[in-house]
């Protein structure tokens, strides 16, 4: 599963925006130096609060936007250099599933036409009758009925419309599907069905998925690896099980503490973030998270942290000055079960919480506290 299908290197997208006619333009660093690798056959999740740059990153990865800086390689070929036939073949291989299935489907087209459209572009070898047959097959593959092809999108529920969106994405026979918040607009009861459908399709069709979400509970059970984004940068990335069980970056810890636990009594203490997310054009020196981090020190305001690597194969990366890839990393990561926290991480959570209630000052980074508490 470790063959790289998609790679981003130092990807940046900066927008110049003007808030009023007279004001000078300010710079929104929507994506600001993202490097990642997506492996063939995996589900790679990108999570973070609204406005952190997830959709912009997705558009860069598909070459729907040109980067300000950096490169994207799909199957080893630079996507920015693609044009003409090369670009058409990229569009065939990489497809998108949108957040809002209603606005992404043309209401004047029948479902048959909507799902058949990509076939007209990418499968010109098929006759009209064969295309009709293929559309039926695709609809059945996503849990709809073949005769739904004659209906219009408004005749379907939200979940069914998302199934139509998925059938449309599958039509070209893609290798990679990018889902930008594919279930966020759906009722909670329907979300699980669509998540299950995506997981089944991935296995059946040997697809690779990039799933974007602001809600961690959704991607927890469907992703192999996860990248956590904050203000255009990846602050933590690694195997999903490890990031969920042993989060290291203070931002990830705060995000995860807000995820409801299915079992009574297992809820983690809530770790609220300090302050507000800075405005999109705010310029923050040093670590982008420093004005919301309880552990910020002078160094955090002076220089941006580099990614440190953890885990047996160095797959777990964390951008924090106080996560230095400790030599006892494997002990730190020891897990007794997929959803169980290590005692160290549990202690860290408890300390965050105690501090928030004024029981203990939090002058130090959790690792430092942890050492004191555990020895």
Binding site for ligand ADP (CB under 6 A): 15, 17, 28, 30, 48, 50-56, 280
CB of 108 to ligand SF4, least distance (A): 49
Alpha carbon distance 151, 281 (integer Å) = 45
CB of 64 to ligand ADP, least distance (A): 11
- 28 touches, from ligand SF4, Mg ion, ligand ADP, none (C-beta below 5 to 8 Å by class): ligand ADP
Which helix H or strand E contains 134, and what residues bound it? Answer: helix 128-141
Nearer to ligand ADP, 30 or 183 (CB): 30
Distances (CA, A) of 282 to 181, 289, 339: 25, 12, 36
Binding range to ligand SF4, per CB under 6 A, among 23-31, 120-128, 287-295, 331-339? 287-295
Residue 293 binds ligand SF4, judged by CB under 6 A:
yes
Alpha carbon distance 177, 180 (integer Å) = 10
Among 13, 36, 38, 55, binds Mg ion (CB under 5 A): 55
For residue 117, give the nearest of 131, 130, 129 by alpha carbon. Answer: 131
Alpha carbon distance 267, 284 (integer Å) = 33
Residue 317 binds ligand SF4, judged by CB under 6 A:
no
Helical pair 158-170 and 188-205, crossing angle rounded to 10 deg = 20
Nearer to ligand ADP, 28 or 234 (CB): 28
Binding range to ligand SF4, per CB under 6 A, among 6-14, 34-42, 169-177, 316-324? 316-324
CB of 300 to ligand SF4, least distance (A): 3
Helical pair 128-141 and 158-170, crossing angle rounded to 10 deg = 130
Nearer to ligand SF4, 348 or 365 (CB): 365
Per the DSSP assignment, residues forming a β-bridge with 233 are 230
Residue 369 binds ligand SF4, judged by CB under 6 A:
no
32 near 93, Cβ under 8 Å? no
Residues numbered 320-359 forming contacts with ligand SF4, rule: CB under 6 A: 320-322
Residues numbered 210-249 forming contacts with ligand SF4, rule: CB under 6 A: 249
Per-residue interface string for the shown chain with ligand SF4, residues 296-315, x marking contact by CB under 6 A: x---x----x----------
Residue 177 binds ligand SF4, judged by CB under 6 A:
no
Q: Residue 8, SS3?
A: strand
- If you write DSSP's letter for every residue of 89-124 in order, what string do you get? HHHHHEEEE-S-HHHHS-TTS-HHHHHHHHHHHH-T
Residues at the interface with Mg ion (CB under 5 A): 55
């Amino acid at each position: 599963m470790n063959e790289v299908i998609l790679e981003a290197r130092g990807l940046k997208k900066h927008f110049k925006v003007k808030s009023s006619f007279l004001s000078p333009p300010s710079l929104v660093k929507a994506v600001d130096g993202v490097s990642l690798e997506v492996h063939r056959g995996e589900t790679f999740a990108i999570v973070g609060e609204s406005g952190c740059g997830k959709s912009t990153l997705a558009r860069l990865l598909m070459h729907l936007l040109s980067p300000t800086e950096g490169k994207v390689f799909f199957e080893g070929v630079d996507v920015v250099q693609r044009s003409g036939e090369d670009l058409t073949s990229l569009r065939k291989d990489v497809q998108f599933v949108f957040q809002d299935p209603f606005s992404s489907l043309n209401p004047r087209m029948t479902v048959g036409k909507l799902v058949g459209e990509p076939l007209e572009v990418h499968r010109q070898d098929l006759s009209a009758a064969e295309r009709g047959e293929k559309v039926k097959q695709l609809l059945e593959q996503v849990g709809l009925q073949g005769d739904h092809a004659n209906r219009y999108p408004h005749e379907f529920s939200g979940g069914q419309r998302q199934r139509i969106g998925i059938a449309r994405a599958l039509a070209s026979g893609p290798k990679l599907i990018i889902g930008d918040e594919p279930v966020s607009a759906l009722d909670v009861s329907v979300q699980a069905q669509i998540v299950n459908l995506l997981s089944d399709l991935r296995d059946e069709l040997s697809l690779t998925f990039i799933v974007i979400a602001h809600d961690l509970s959704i991607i927890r059970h469907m992703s192999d690896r996860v990248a956590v984004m904050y203000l255009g940068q990846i602050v933590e990335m690694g195997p999903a099980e490890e990031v969920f069980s042993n989060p290291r970056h203070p931002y990830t810890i705060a995000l995860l503490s807000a995820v409801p636990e299915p079992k009574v009594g297992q809820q983690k203490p809530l770790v609220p973030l300090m302050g507000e997310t800075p405005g999109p054009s705010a310029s923050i020196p040093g670590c982008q998270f420093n004005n919301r981090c309880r552990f910020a020190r002078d160094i955090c305001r002076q220089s941006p942290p580099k990614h440190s690597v953890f885990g047996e194969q160095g797959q777990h990366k964390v951008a924090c000055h106080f996560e230095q890839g400790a030599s006892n990393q494997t002990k730190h990561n020891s897990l007794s079960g997929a959803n169980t926290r290590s005692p160290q991480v549990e202690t860290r959570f408890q300390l965050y919480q105690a501090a928030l209630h004024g029981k203990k000052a939090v002058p130090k980074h959790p690792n430092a506290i942890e050492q004191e508490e555990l020895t």
